[in-house]
Amino acid sequence: MNVFSKLAVTAGMSLLLAAGVAQAQSKTFNVWWFELPDTSQAKAWTKALEELKAKHPDVTINFEQKTFDQLQKAGSLILNSDQAPDLLEYNKGNATAGLVASQGLLTPLDDQFKSRGWDKILNETNSQLSKYDASGIYGSGPIIGIPVHAEFVSVFYNIDMFQANGVRVPTTLDEFEAALDTFKQKGITPLAYGTVDSNAQHLLYTLALTQADDTWVKNYQGLKEPLDTKPFLFAAQKIVDWVGKGYISKDSTGLKGTGGADNLFSSGKSPMFVSGTWNNGNFASSIKNFKWSQFVFPTPKYSTASTGNLFMVPKGAKNKDLAYEFIDLILSKENQNLQANLGGVAIAADPASVTDEVGKRNVEIFNEISGKGGLGFYPDWPVPGYYELLIQATTGLVNGSTTPEQFADRLKTAYDDAQAAQ
């Protein structure tokens, strides 16, 4: 062999090696999510990963646990780089999913949605947040993400305290206020509330939804028109009234919902806590001294509720087929029922096959809300930065530094800004 042929062989070998490496790399399935390992979702999804591994023994599964904050703050930068995984869980909504969708960083899933039968599993209401248009607004446009669980805000209540004080589950806002008053008369602060995190706006928006109709919700969430503040003004006034009457403690402004107000409920100090299904696991394991349950806050139609975060396939994903197959697995009846049996709010579980008390109740409540098209979503979605603004402004209502009118003005200024900037 002369020098040239040796060189040629070496070159050929290294090319082959390089191709081999590339081949090996493409056999790694990279998947990220941020649900904490002890949640029902994460447990069910881990089970699905095992099934995927069993079907494809040659594939290396590379799962990375992320945090909500990591993806919230840097998600768009990661999706815009070559470091994006094959599949990831990402926060739904205009400011997050909508933003990356509008920048063309995701794979459209419309074909898979039909051919794999996902359209039979997710009804119209439940797939609203899967679609985003060219300016990143939900509701229309290509499907870019698939939800496999759901969440909703309801009223957690202490059955023992309700019975001891002769209070029945309220079915109207008036009855709800009467219940608050009964407890207050007995020297009990009826509502556990913390305004330092999202808990602030969950109660506020739930109250606003008592005044909202289809048009208002659609306009509000879709940034369709300048903000009609009436429902918010009503809600803000209610909160101020409730603080004045002692239904809400002024100390709420120093407490978080998670790791603060939730303790007031779970330790039996306050009989009610208006918050989301993410408390289920904590309450199921930590409350031993009393019986508790949930009821839907009395509103005409809408609840603070939505389908869960989305599984998305980034544009540059190397193993899209594996990503689709994994979505098949987590949408399957078995995996959905497993999630519900672990106490989770599965989006397509069959309540009849769920034995876990909390999971069964939550699947039923979600089906009831979704069945009447009552997903009111969350108040911070339409405007980037609204999450913090709502926390600050609601805190202002409780500690008296902001009047309901000023509150409505602050919301309107930021909203109309974002609406006009479209």
Q: Which residues bind another protein (CB under 8 A)?
A: 72-73, 76-77, 80, 95, 99-100, 103, 105, 195-196, 249-255, 260, 263-264, 383-385, 387-388, 391-393, 395-396, 399, 401-402
- Tell the smallest beta-carbon distance from residue 187 to another protein (Å): 16
- Tell the smallest beta-carbon distance from residue 130 to another protein (Å): 21
Distance CA 302, CA 157 (A): 20
Distance CA 206, CA 296 (A): 10
Nearer to another protein by C-beta: 102 or 229? 102
- Tell the smallest beta-carbon distance from residue 402 to another protein (Å): 6
- Tell the smallest beta-carbon distance from residue 393 to another protein (Å): 7
Q: How many CB atoms lie within 10 A of CB 373?
A: 14
Nearer to another protein by C-beta: 85 or 396? 396
The sign one gets for the Cα dihedral 173, 174, 180, 182 is: negative
Q: Which of 383, 377, 390 is nearest to 422 (CA)?
A: 383
Nearer to another protein by C-beta: 275 or 337? 275
Specify burial of residue 237 (Cβ count, 10 A radius: 0-12, 13-18, 19+): middle
Q: Which of 70, 116, 80, 121 is nearest to 314 (CA)?
A: 80
Nearer to another protein by C-beta: 359 or 382? 382
- Tell the smallest beta-carbon distance from residue 34 to another protein (Å): 16
- Contact of 151 with 305, CB cutoff 8 Å: yes
Nearer to another protein by C-beta: 99 or 179? 99
Nearer to another protein by C-beta: 300 or 400? 400
Distance CA 328, CA 353 (A): 20
- Tell the smallest beta-carbon distance from residue 253 to another protein (Å): 3
Distance of CA 101 to the CA centre of its chain: 18
3-state SS, residue 149:
strand
- Tell the smallest beta-carbon distance from residue 410 to another protein (Å): 10
E strands, 218-355, where? 272-276, 292-295, 305-307, 310-312
Q: How many CB atoms lie within 10 A of CB 315?
A: 17
Cα 256 to Cα 38, 127, 196, 315, 344: the distances in Å are 21, 31, 5, 37, 23
Nearer to another protein by C-beta: 293 or 399? 399
- Tell the smallest beta-carbon distance from residue 401 to another protein (Å): 5
For residue 97, the cross-strand partners are none
- Tell the smallest beta-carbon distance from residue 383 to another protein (Å): 8
Nearer to another protein by C-beta: 250 or 333? 250
Distance CA 208, CA 301 (A): 12
Distance of CA 148 to the CA centre of its chain: 11
- Tell the smallest beta-carbon distance from residue 224 to another protein (Å): 20
Distance CA 99, CA 137 (A): 8
Nearer to another protein by C-beta: 158 or 395? 395
3-state SS, residue 1:
coil
Backbone angles phi, psi at 169, to 5 degrees: -60, 120
Nearer to another protein by C-beta: 263 or 362? 263
